[in-house]
Chain A
Amino acid sequence: MGHADVADELEDATGISVAQVNRSFGDIVALEAIDLHVSRHQRVGIVGPSGCGKSSLLALVCGLDEPTSGSINVLGGHSAAERLASCAWMPQRDLLLPWRTVLANASLPLENKGLSKRDAYAIVEPLFERFGLGGFEQRFPYELSGGMRQRVSFLRTLVAGKDVLLLDEPFGALDSITRADVQQWLRSALDDEPRTVLLVTHDVEEAVLLSDVVVVISPRPGRIVARIPISLAPVNTRRDAVMQPDFIAARGEVLDALEA
């Protein structure tokens, strides 16, 4: 695919650049010599065994944490505050506020920005239909299924209007049927509204299906051991996507890298 190489020459197109980043917690080295270049609006899947530091990497990128050494650049910003300003983070749990309606939950970033409830709702409400949440605006999170809650959480992340999305096992808590559904939905949502995406997952199929490049991280200390470009032919259904030879080959490559 070579996207990353091209982006190296085009400074403007840099989404995320992680250079020689190390992160230790006491004696434990969580991440070692991480180099990662993501061009703008590229989608990078990060897979690796549990505890390999995938989530730590996301926390570093979005400025919730600082590396022990090395530098991180997100859309030209180096400081934690600048990184925080360009990154939206979506964790595995939906983290919806139970005391807010679904609409109020999705409007949270706008309210935090200082918009009145009314103005925020006016912007967010029209998006509900597109997210398959039409008619559920005034419901509370506990009244929704897991898949719908996750979509609200994603809507909230998008409403923040940040260019970089850091998705930390966003579908990990869903059953496999719902997950397949939401994956497909996410794919089309991102096609409509391109963002720079880091997707952490332990589901290889999910990574291959949703990413332009899949990065494999080794068990602790976490190092990048493989970078596998993905190119799938445009197909209409998930079934067609996972049946095509390119998909099967890419999945095999990722699995090989994981087991190496």
Chain B
Amino acid sequence: MSNVDGNNGASRGLAEAAPKRSKDKGSPLRERLRNLGPAIGVLVGLVVFWELACRFLSVPAYILPPPSSIIATLIKKWDTTLASATWVTLSEVAIGFALSLITGIGFAILLHASPHVRRAIYPLLIGSQTIPIIVIGPILAIIFGYNIVPKVLLVTLICFFPIVVTTIDGLASVDPQLKRMMKTLYGTAWSTFRRVEFPAALPSMFSGIRVAATYASIGAVFGEYAGSSNGLGYVMIQATPQMQTSLVFAAILLLSLISVVLFALVSLAERLLVPWAKEGRS
């Protein structure tokens, strides 16, 4: 071999301009708010249209209350009914969702680690989804009574499936070349899981968690429909026969607020834990 000047290549390499993170786009928060602008615009437009339609078409309030009266009811009934109902439903959603995260991710890892277990369980898991989870509500109420347990279980059951499936998919779709590479770099099964498979599965896992976050409140409400003494679902079921339609809408508003907050928290966690997924794609 000839003696090529070693520094030559190196210094020239430095000169290759690497693309730098563009930081001059303004703060990311402002950026995101700007992205939300059109959606907020449409929402405001719809609410205004709803208000005007109710007023000019003289729709009876027990059929469709205008947004203004929904807000008024929300404020009036907050202390007496809605605050405690929101708290009850929120705890059901939070505990059930947390449980589904732990069990869903744990279960996915178990199925991934053992092909035998996977072959035995995975088809059953998919098959179990043909049972509408809603119908399980009354059964759980019979078994566990009117307390928080059946609601939490229902939330967990609903959220479990999307988390398990996307996590398994994420773990299974790791580039086989990466695993070979790890083998040649002293990688054991555990270090490969920890340093390659699990991080690689995170983006896929998070898309499942986001779906689960939007389902969570449905589980709580159906649990409350099946039998309860408090909660936003309970409020709806009580208010409907009394024609307190604006109270029903107020409960729906709070329920979707819970979902939005949960979704936002999941998105925040994703941005913190998987910052590379979005950046890497660009």
Chain A contact residues, CB within 8 Å of chain B: 43, 62, 64, 84, 87-89, 91, 93, 95, 97-99, 108-109, 111-113, 130-134, 136, 139-145, 147-148, 151, 156, 160, 178, 181-182, 184-185, 187-192, 212, 232-238, 241
Contact = CB atoms under 8 A, between A and B. Distances in A.
B56 interface: no
Contacts of A140: 276, 279-280
B18 A241 contact: no
Interface in B237-282: 274, 276-277, 279-280, 282
Contact of B183 (A84, A145, A151): A84
Given A191-B3, A235-B2, A145 B16 contact: yes
A141 to B, nearest CB: 8
B139 to A, nearest CB: 43
A143 B18 contact: yes
Contacts, number: 133
Nearest to A101: B276
B9 interface: yes
B18 A97 contact: no
A132 B21 contact: no
Contacts of B186: 109, 112-113, 160
B199 A97 contact: yes
Most buried by A among B6, B177, B181, B199: B181
Contacts of B202: 99
Contact of A132 (B1, B4, B11, B184): B11
Contacts of A235: 2, 4
B180 interface: yes
Interface string B57-72: 0000000000000000
B5 A160 contact: no
Nearest to B274: A99
A237 B19 CA distance: 28
Q: 6 nearest interchain CB pairs?
A: A185-B9, A188-B6, A132-B13, A234-B2, A132-B10, A109-B185
A189 B2 contact: no
Given A188-B6, A241-B4, A64 B183 contact: yes
B6 A134 contact: no
How many B residues touch the partner, as a band? Answer: 35 or more
Interface of chain B, main secondary structure: helix
Interface of B: 1-6, 8-14, 16-21, 175, 177-178, 180-188, 191, 195-196, 199-200, 202, 274, 276-277, 279-280, 282
A185 B10 contact: yes
Most buried by A among B21, B195, B200: B195
Contacts of A151: 13
Given A112-B186, A132-B13, A191 B20 contact: no
B177 A145 contact: no
A156 B14 CA distance: 18
A132 B279 CA distance: 24
B18 A139 contact: yes
Contacts of B11: 132
13 contacts: A89-B181, A91-B181, A95-B175, A97-B199, A98-B280, A99-B276, A132-B12, A139-B18, A140-B280, A145-B16, A185-B13, A187-B1, A236-B4
A112 B202 CA distance: 21
B185 A144 contact: no
B14 A87 contact: no
A185 B14 CA distance: 12
Contact of A143 (B6, B9, B19, B184): B19
A154 B175 CA distance: 19
